[in-house]
Amino acid sequence: MLNIAYFVSPHGFGHASRSTAVMQRIIDKYPHAYFHIFTLIPEWFFTDALPPCFTLHRVRTDVGLVQRTPLEEDLPATLRKLDEFFPFQESLLSSLANILIQNQCVCAICDISPLGIAVANQAGIPSVLIENFTWDWIYEGYLESMPSFSKIIPEMGNVFRQATFHIQTQPLCHADSSVNLTTHPVSRAPKNSSADTRQKLGISDNKPLVLITMGGIPEKYSALEKLKTFDNCWFVLPGSSDNYKIDQNIILLPHHSRFYHPDLVNASNVVIGKLGYSTIAEVYHAGIPFGFIPRENFRESPLLAKYVEENFPSICISEQEFYSGSWLESLDPLLSAPLIDRQVPNGASQITDFLLNSILG
């Protein structure tokens, strides 16, 4: 058995999604791989996507940003959490390093958890940083309004620079010429065909399907009545209900449903959603149009928006337009946009090939 430690940021589901995609590809090429996953992401997220090849260790590996809503961060709360979390306590590093040593982990992969790099150093094994941004770079964007970030930025940047290997994934925010590898977007592959997913959703006709997603964060959408006026389409909204329910042309799903999110993307004609890494990557490889909602104060957002506009049929939807439903007036051009047949590898395969050549043998 090949034991690998995986430290995953619990900020949203994007980092867990990218991590899961890499684990899926490692298992494809190395069926006896076993993962020790360190994160606060719920276990079902990994169980839905992976065979029984992992142990989940519930530990905070990262703070990231504390969110008030899917689109709004709470900076004072973020600073308070960072003061509790960083610098790392020696007792925490020692206890986690002992887990890696006892389980003979050959490396620690970190998305974008600085704790994993520090633990790997303590355990004496290689670390692999996978990112399209690092938190020190994100925090720099808040220095003007919150100067207190100035203390944490150099300390955290120093930890990130200690990674043995450094991989960046498109769409990236701050290119580093010293990285070992830059990849195409990393996304989980769908499990089921579009037709199978539509049938399971209860869609028996050929009307287009529009997925409305806030990146894994539960959200009660306020413009449902407006969606009903567009009865030439189906709309599916994960995280919008406590149970599966069909209301005219709207399918409401719970936060954790029996529908695998990449299957929903694969079955859709258009995705409307928060501008986040995992949604971009899944829509990119599906080759479908994207109506994206940027996060106004998030440093990553304009760079991700630029990438989407250059690589997708897309429209930018403001937060106000999203919640009012006025974005529906721009839906027809997205529905009529051609699909894109991507002739590039999934970044998860590129990462796996690199790991097999450099660490896993």
Flag whether 70 is in a domain: yes
Judged on CB neighbours under 10 Å (0-12, 13-18, 19+), 195 is: exposed
Answering whether pTM is above 0.85, one says yes
Same domain, 168 and 259: no
Same domain for 78 and 199, yes or no, is no
Q: Which long-range contacts (CB under 8 A, 24 or more apart) does 245-252 make?
A: 246/202, 249/207, 250/224, 251/201, 251/202, 251/203
Total count of domains within the chain: 2
Residue 215: its pLDDT value, please?
Answer: 63
**What range does the domain containing 80 cover?**
2-187+346-360
pLDDT in the model for residue 42:
95
DSSP states along 194-226? HHHHHHHHT--S---EEEEE-TT-----S-HHH
Same domain for 353 and 326: no
Task: State whether 251 and 354 are in the same domain.
Answer: no
Residues 125 and 215 in one domain: no
Q: Which amino acid is at 76?
A: P
Residue 321 shares a structural domain with residue 356: no
Question: Within a domain: residue 341?
Answer: no
Q: What pLDDT was estimated at residue 220?
A: 66
pLDDT score recorded for residue 298: 85
Hey, which bits of the chain come out as E strands?
2-8, 33-39, 54-58, 67-69, 72-73, 108-111, 127-131, 165-169, 181-183, 209-213, 234-237, 245-247, 250-252, 270-274, 290-293, 314-316
Cα–Cα dist 47/41, whole Å: 11
For residue 206, give the CATH number of its domain: 3.40.50.2000
One pLDDT digit (tens) per residue for the chain, 361 residues: 899 999 999 988 999 999 999 999 999 999 999 999 999 999 999 999 999 999 999 999 999 888 887 677 888 999 999 999 989 999 999 999 999 999 999 999 999 999 999 999 999 999 999 999 999 999 999 998 899 999 999 999 999 999 999 999 999 998 888 999 999 999 999 999 999 999 999 998 889 999 999 765 555 677 888 999 998 999 999 987 888 999 999 999 988 889 999 999 999 999 999 999 999 999 999 999 999 999 877 899 999 999 999 999 999 999 899 989 999 999 999 999 999 999 999 999 999 999 999 987 7
Q: 132 and 244, same structural domain?
A: no
Asked if the structure places residue 66 within a domain, the reply is yes
